[in-house]
Amino acid sequence: MTGANSSSLTPGFFILNGVPGLEAAHVWISLPFCFMYIIAVLGNCGLIYLISYEEALHRPMYYFLALLSFTDVTLCTTTVPNMLCIFWFNLKEIHFNACLAQMFFVHMLTGMESGVLMLMALDRYVAICYPLRYSTILTNPVIAKAGLATFLRGVMLVIPFIFLTKHLPYCQGNFIPHTYCDHMSVAKVSCGNFKINAIYGLMVALLIGVFDICCISVSYTMILRAVVSLSSADARQKAFSTCTSHICAIVITYVPAFFTFFTHRFGEQNIPHHIHIIVANLYLLLPPTMNPIVYGVKTKQIREGVIKLLLGDKVVITKDK
């Protein structure tokens, strides 16, 4: 092995072990994940269709919501079908290049999801702080450019993961104790020095996560100041109500994300590995499952749109920023 080049130390495939220590319970673990995936696909696809179909929802807030739904349903589809094959049919093998592709899409789409949540916070900031200029600031070209920039940011920052991981030597085996190909899970299988992978992964997390959270925090600080200055209690309540769905989406997304990120790097010795794997899967499945439900329950215009689809044109959708 000492004289082998790096290509000879690249495995043809990896074996995804699922949830280590709970192999006997794989079928039972798969049931809630399968149920959540079905809800995520139906809910997000239905939301995208509703926004595209209903003209009253052709507004910046709902365009960003449609982008979030598309990102969410693509993200969970990248991992869940393969995970269910592991749980149900014991199909654990994944080709090396397929593993790298899955790793790319997982990290790119999670970064894009964070970026869209940040754009939605900016949308609420403009709607509440500059209501008269809302439609002139957030025009369709601006929305398209913002979405494209978020996509390109994720692509450019995640592409180095592929090259860093591909050039690592894998002489310790090809077993990955996970249900999908995560960057650090794959890197830790290597027998080489993956310190650069860990440092770059931390840098990307800071560049995306910290930047987006700072933008969201600044936006809601400005929103809070604007709402508190309103003289009418009804106006304050209405302004706050337009933000509740987005705040719920932020909590649902970032809480499991932070848990997964910090335990992967600092807490693996203190937290059972199967807990880490289950939370990592919830991190990818919970936001796509809950976001359509949260927005469907909290947003009056979406509720009215669903009723209109079911009952025909008897319902008039209220227009609101």
Per-residue pLDDT of the chain (321 residues; tens, 9 = 90+): 443 444 557 888 999 999 988 989 999 999 999 999 999 999 999 999 999 988 889 999 999 999 999 999 999 999 999 999 999 999 999 999 999 999 999 999 999 999 999 999 999 999 999 999 999 999 999 999 999 999 999 999 999 999 999 999 998 788 999 999 999 899 989 988 999 998 999 899 889 999 999 999 999 999 999 888 887 888 788 878 888 899 999 999 998 888 877 776 665 667 788 888 998 999 999 999 999 999 988 888 898 888 888 787 655 566 665
Rg (CA), the chain: 22
Encoded amino acid at 183, one letter: H
Tell me the backbone φ, ψ of residue 124, rounded to 5 degrees: -65, -35
Encoded amino acid at 285, one letter: L
Token pair in block for residue 281: 């899967």
Q: Which of 56, 43, 65 is nearest to 119 (CA)?
A: 65
d(CA 320, CA 299): 10
Q: Which of 195, 216, 161 is nearest to 265 (CA)?
A: 195
Within 13 A of 206's CA, how many CA atoms are on the CB side? 6
d(CA 39, CA 87): 19
Count CB atoms within 10 A of the CB of residue 131: 12
Helix (H) or strand (E) run with residue 14 in it: strand 13-16
Longest dimension (CA), the chain: 77
Residue 198 to residues 54, 184, 185, 192, 257, Cα–Cα distance (Å): 45, 7, 11, 13, 17
CB proximity list for 318: less than 8 A, separation 6 or greater: 56, 300, 301, 304
Tell me the backbone φ, ψ of residue 15, rounded to 5 degrees: -115, 115
Assign domain 15-311 to its CATH architecture: Up-down Bundle (1.20)
pTM comes to 0.92
Evaluate whether 54 touches 308 at the Cβ level (below 8 Å): yes
| DSSP-based helix, strand, coil % in the chain, nearest 5 | 75, 5, 20
Token pair in block for residue 13: 């495939």
